[in-house]
Amino acid sequence: MMAFIFYNPNPDGKYVGDCVIRAISRLLRQDWDTTYYDICELGGDIHNMPSADDVWGEYLYRNGFRKHAILDTCPFCYTVKDFCLDHPVGSFLLKTSGHVVAVVNGNYYDTSDSGNEVPIYFWGK
């Protein structure tokens, strides 16, 4: 059964601008600091900002995730909730317009209910 689960591992309880760090920390079961510093180091290595899709995407790739397209059968009506129902097993990072959401075993983890957002693509493992 799909559910929204509040998740904010930020040590100071902040939740603006760090959605990719929060989501990846959930997927990899590591703390916020480890995720943040690892992605910052990778950003430095490839000379791009840690918030750039190619930086955190490379980090996910190095941790066994692979990038997939969302089928274009209903590009404006297929939501995070729909994705969760279609993917009850596994770990995924969904990219929406300006946001990312962690999905683990059909549940989505975020600081607010992003279930009605429309995913553009996803990383899965």
76 pLDDT band, cuts 50/70/90, is: confident
Q: What is the CATH code of the structural domain delimited by 4-124?
A: 3.90.70
Q: What percent of the chain has pLDDT over 90?
A: 90
83 pLDDT band, cuts 50/70/90, is: very high
Decide: pTM greater than 0.75.
yes
Long-range contacts, 25-33 (Cβ 8 Å, 24+): 26/102, 26/104, 26/109, 27/60, 27/65, 27/91, 27/92, 27/93, 27/102, 27/104, 27/125, 28/63
Residue range 90-118: average pLDDT?
97
- pLDDT at residue 48, as a whole number: 96
Extents of the domains making up the chain: 4-124
Number of residues in the chain: 125
- pLDDT at residue 69, as a whole number: 94
